[in-house]
Amino acid sequence: MSNETSNISQSMLTELNSVFTQTFGAAPARHFQAPGRVNLIGEHTDYNDGFVLPCAIDYQTLVAVTPRNDMTVKVVAVDYSNQQDEFSLDCEIEAHATQLWSNYVRGVIKHLQLRGHVFKGANLAITGNVPQGAGLSSSASLEVVIGETFRGLYKLSLTKAEVALNGQEAENQFVGCQCGIMDQMVSACGSKFNALLLDCRSLDAELISMPENLAVIIINSNVKRGLVDSEYNTRRLQCEAAARILGLTALRDISLTELQNNKDKLPEVVYRRAHHVVSDSERTVLAAQALRTNDVVQLSKLMAESHISMRDDFEITVPPIDFVVKILTEYLGDKGGVRMTGGGFGGCMVALMPHSMVDGAKQLLVERYQVETGYKETIYICSASDGAGEF
């Protein structure tokens, strides 16, 4: 992967190498990267075995690394004031008491061991420019880059999909957030200029070419996602309850029409959660087809419906995000689409629009968002990018 395909700046790379050299006494041997992601449509469908349509973005987590001859792993986190961690592969890997970032690293490595992989230690330095707490999967990017680093360093017999699954396991079982597979899978397997239509049950993935006439814009509301872990797990339990009551393995196994016909079997709030998941999964398949044929009118409609469903049925949006979606929907009409993306309760929106409308959208946000909400937006102009690999 070359610098031209990412937002990894020379100064970022220089600082990473400098911290590595200062910490470990020599320059790093190799570098690996894994990108964040934005989900174009299909929210909270992944852990219900449904469909999602994300793309990897050109913001990454970057690791500098040198293998060791012993069983010690030493890590320094550039973005956390050069905090350090050290643990042994010969001992049971336990959670770090105070450093959450350490647990993503420890969890991935522990789960590689649990899968039967044998490897030695390493010296690692980590940095990144994926916005944290914004719903762009900085955590999945970290999990995948650590898995990819050890895969590459020790020639582990792992596919990219298995690196993703290992990262998800670590987040579910070691970190304790019950995420689905989407974030890790697109970080590992993304492709430049393409979105990824992912069947979260079979893990079958189809690359969907992104229309060149549409820009991918991410708007960070800068509303911190304070409720996301507890509420995320609550939503997951509600979806599992709906499936259990209806006698399904997962909500993937019912159509929207069938769900509507069985509405009276479910508590009202559980029905609404299920209604979002089933309808958004169906919208995702339609959106992939709209991307294939560059049907922007259909894409605009589907993204609008998805946001309304997240707002009313799944109840994961917040007023500042609803405001942005409203004003950008009015601005774009049927020439583009906008919706909240990510787990909810803050974070980001994603918009697809003609390049000629980007400056007007940015101006509209600058003029109206902070005045209306008290928050200041951050805008990222992105492109669909390659998944994890050596940098």
For 236-264, how does the pLDDT look when each residue is reduced to its tens digit (9 = 90+)? 999 999 999 999 999 999 999 999 999 99
Render pLDDT for 19-39 as a digit per residue (tens, 0 to 9). Answer: 999 999 999 999 999 999 999
Least confident stretch, 4-18, 299-313, 334-348: 4-18
**Residue 388 confidence (pLDDT) above 60:** yes
Task: Tell me if the pTM is above 0.85.
Answer: yes
pLDDT at 4 (0 to 100): 39
Render pLDDT for 150-161 as a digit per residue (tens, 0 to 9). Answer: 999 999 999 999
Task: Specify the DSSP class assigned to residue 277.
Answer: H
| Cα 352 to Cα 336: distance, rounded to the nearest angstrom | 5
Tokens at 36, concatenated? 């964040």
pLDDT at 230 (0 to 100): 79
β partners of residue 378: 220
Write the CB contacts of 208 (distance below 8 Å, at least 6 apart in sequence): 53, 194, 195, 196, 197, 288, 291, 292
Residue range 50-63: mean pLDDT, rounded: 96
- Comparing C-alpha atoms, which of 139, 182, 185 is closest to residue 161? 185
Identify whether the C-beta of residue 321 lies closer than 8 Å to the C-beta of residue 223: yes
Residue range 265-273: mean pLDDT, rounded: 98
Exactly one of 183, 280, 313, 386 is catalytic; name it.
Answer: 183
**Residue 226 confidence (pLDDT) above 70:** no
Known catalytic residue at 90: no
Mean of the per-residue pLDDT values of the chain: 94
**Residue 8 confidence (pLDDT) above 90:** no
> Which domains are assigned to the chain?
3-209 (3.30.230.10)
